[in-house]
């Protein structure tokens, strides 16, 4: 198991490095190749600025240096920190940082840390809801195939998959926040958990429901299909023939095999949303990573875009490592592959 984990960790580091190279090339080299020499600097000073001012900004940003030096400086800053203004001393980060946003006049790492708490609160609550709802509905529907419950829940799942997140969010806000027909959740906004845990949960209730409906529907359909396939296997019939109780057959044999793919999907879904639940955060105006990335794209704030992209890649890679380890724990044959 130790060697298996080490191999996965080495692979994860290599993937993150590859993503960082591609991200740096896209957001630093491409604008220069498709525009003028200092096209990135023009984003900060404007197209009609004095050329001397553009050169000064380009030097301050470090984009007049060789590409390899720019990349190594950027990666060094992520690991150890660096002077963010090329020696001027006005913006210095001793701790690891993703650069400096001259649009927002703030360290990108501080921006990511502040927004991550919002996204984490949203994703953790929603993921627990959709995992419990989806798996429970899927298992019961499979065990009661063809019944009214099965048809009703699968109809609900189809509706949940069909409705976009922003439409569900608008309906929830209209029904429970804007006074039609209820208004017991007025002025939905993010409240930090440390300030008031009660208000934190109350204001996150509608975003949790809006985000979890789509995934709960998907998980219900997938769990039902996996359970139906698993319960028809020969070893399930053998377990029944041995006289094992129905509950034992379902929980120890059926669910363990049927829910194994859910581990992979759950890890990927959570990691992707941790990189930014853009639609949900925008619909409820929550200042999370997704909202930060959207605003950065609109403002062409390249350091923030690069920081969010690399952070999202780290989440996905870490989730894959965790899923691989869980797979190896459940099924020892995975270690040999």
Residue 97 has pLDDT above 50, yes or no: yes
* pLDDT of res. 83: 59
Burial class (CB in 10 A: 0-12, 13-18, 19+), 289: buried
pLDDT-derived band at 249 (thresholds 50, 70, 90) equals confident
Is residue 20 within 8 Å of 310, Cβ to Cβ? yes
Q: 215 and 261, same structural domain?
A: yes
Which of 55, 78, 109 terminates a domain? The answer is: 109
Residue 34 has pLDDT above 70, yes or no: no
| Per-chain mean pLDDT for the chain | 80
Q: 155 and 96, same structural domain?
A: no
Which CATH number covers residue 308?
1.10.3720.10
Burial class (CB in 10 A: 0-12, 13-18, 19+), 336: exposed
92 φ/ψ angles, rounded to the nearest 5 degrees: -125, 135
Q: What is the mean pLDDT of residues 305-329?
A: 83
DSSP 49: S
Which single residue is written with the structure tokens 């080299």?
29
What is the signed CA dihedral for 206, 168, 275, 154, rounded to 10 degrees?
100
Phi/psi zone of residue 126: left (φ > 0), alpha (ψ -120 to 50 degrees), beta?
Answer: alpha
Q: Please give the model's pTM, rounded to 2 decimal places.
A: 0.80
Terminal Cα-to-Cα distance of the chain (whole angstroms): 13
* pLDDT of res. 75: 82
Q: 98 and 147, same structural domain?
A: no
Q: 166 and 70, same structural domain?
A: no
* pLDDT of res. 326: 78
* pLDDT of res. 86: 43
Residue 150 has pLDDT above 80, yes or no: yes
Which of 109, 126, 143 terminates a domain? The answer is: 109
* pLDDT of res. 179: 66
The residues pairing with 92 across neighbouring beta strands, listed in sequence order, are 83
Q: Return the minimum-mean-pLDDT range out of 10-19, 32-41, 250-259.
A: 32-41
Number of structural domains (the chain) is 2
* pLDDT of res. 283: 87
| HSE toward the beta carbon, residue 120, CA cutoff 13 A | 9
Is residue 24 within 8 Å of 77, Cβ to Cβ? no
Is residue 60 within 8 Å of 75, Cβ to Cβ? no
Q: 141 and 22, same structural domain?
A: no
Q: 123 and 34, same structural domain?
A: no
Q: Over pLDDT 70: what percentage of the chain? A: 83
Q: Which domain holds residue 100?
A: 2-109
pLDDT-derived band at 123 (thresholds 50, 70, 90) equals very high
Of 45 and 142, more confident:
142
Q: 180 and 68, same structural domain?
A: no
**Alpha carbons 327 and 124: distance in angstroms, whole number:** 22
Copy the structure tokens of residue 29: 């080299």
Q: Is the Cα torsion angle 259, 264, 265, 271 positive or negative in sign?
A: positive
Among residues 164, 155, 180, 168, the alpha carbon closest in space to that of 208 is found at 168
CA angle (6, 10, 11) in 5-degree steps: 115
Give CA separation, 63 vs 22, 33, 41, 67, in Å: 17, 13, 8, 8
pLDDT-derived band at 330 (thresholds 50, 70, 90) equals low
* pLDDT of res. 1: 66
* pLDDT of res. 122: 92
pLDDT-derived band at 127 (thresholds 50, 70, 90) equals very high
Please tell me the total number of residues recorded for the chain in this structure.
337
* pLDDT of res. 37: 52
Which of 109, 135, 168 terminates a domain? The answer is: 109
Q: 100 and 199, same structural domain?
A: no
Q: What is the mean pLDDT of residues 326-337?
A: 60
Is residue 214 within 8 Å of 277, Cβ to Cβ? no
Is residue 249 within 8 Å of 271, Cβ to Cβ? no
The residues pairing with 83 across neighbouring beta strands, listed in sequence order, are 92
Copy the structure tokens of residue 257: 């095999």
Q: 180 and 274, same structural domain?
A: yes
Q: 275 and 164, same structural domain?
A: yes
Q: 53 and 42, same structural domain?
A: yes
Q: What is the mean pLDDT of residues 27-35?
A: 62
* pLDDT of res. 36: 52
* pLDDT of res. 125: 92
* pLDDT of res. 43: 66
Of 34 and 127, more confident:
127
| Pairing verdict, β 106-107 and 100-101 | antiparallel
CA angle (102, 277, 205) in 5-degree steps: 120
* pLDDT of res. 121: 92
pLDDT-derived band at 88 (thresholds 50, 70, 90) equals very low
Q: What is the mean pLDDT of residues 153-165?
A: 82
Q: What is the mean pLDDT of residues 297-322?
A: 86
Q: 167 and 87, same structural domain?
A: no
Residue 5 has pLDDT above 50, yes or no: yes
CB atoms within 10 A of CB 172: 21
């Amino acid at each position: 198991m130790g060697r298996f984990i080490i191999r996965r960790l080495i692979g994860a580091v290599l993937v993150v490095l590859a993503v960082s190279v591609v991200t740096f090339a896209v957001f630093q080299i491409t604008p220069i190749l498709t525009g003028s020499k200092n096209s990135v600097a023009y984003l900060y000073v404007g197209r009609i600025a004095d050329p001397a001012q553009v050169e000064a900004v380009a030097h301050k940003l470090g984009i007049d240096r060789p590409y390899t030096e720019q990349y190594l400086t950027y990666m060094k800053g992520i690991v150890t920190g660096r002077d963010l203004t090329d020696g001027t001393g006005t913006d210095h980060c001793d701790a690891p940082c993703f650069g400096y946003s001259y649009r927002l006049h703030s360290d990108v790492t501080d921006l990511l840390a502040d927004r991550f708490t919002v996204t984490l609160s949203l994703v953790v609550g929603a993921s627990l809801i959709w995992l419990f709802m989806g798996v429970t509905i899927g298992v019961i529907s499979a065990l009661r195939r063809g019944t009214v419950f099965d048809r009703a829940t699968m109809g609900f799942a189809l509706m949940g998959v069909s409705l976009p997140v922003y439409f569900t969010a608008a309906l929830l806000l209209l029904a429970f926040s804007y006074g039609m027909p209820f208004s017991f959740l007025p002025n939905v906004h993010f409240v930090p958990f440390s300030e008031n845990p009660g208000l934190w949960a109350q204001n996150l209730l509608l975003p949790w429901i809006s985000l979890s409906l789509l995934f709960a529907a998907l998980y219900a359909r997938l769990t039902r299909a996996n359970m139906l396939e698993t319960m028809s296997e020969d070893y399930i019939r053998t377990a029944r023939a041995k006289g094992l109780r129905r509950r034992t057959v379902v929980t120890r044999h059926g669910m363990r095999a049927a829910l194994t793919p859910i581990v992979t999907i759950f890890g990927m879904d959570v990691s992707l949303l941790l990189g930014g639940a853009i639609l949900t955060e925008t619909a409820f105006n929550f200042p999370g990573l997704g909202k930060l990335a959207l605003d950065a794209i609109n403002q062409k704030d390249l350091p923030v875009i690069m920081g969010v992209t690399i952070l999202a890649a780290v989440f996905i890679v870490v989730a894959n490592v965790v899923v691989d380890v869980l797979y190896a724990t459940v099924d020892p044959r995975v270690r040999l592959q």
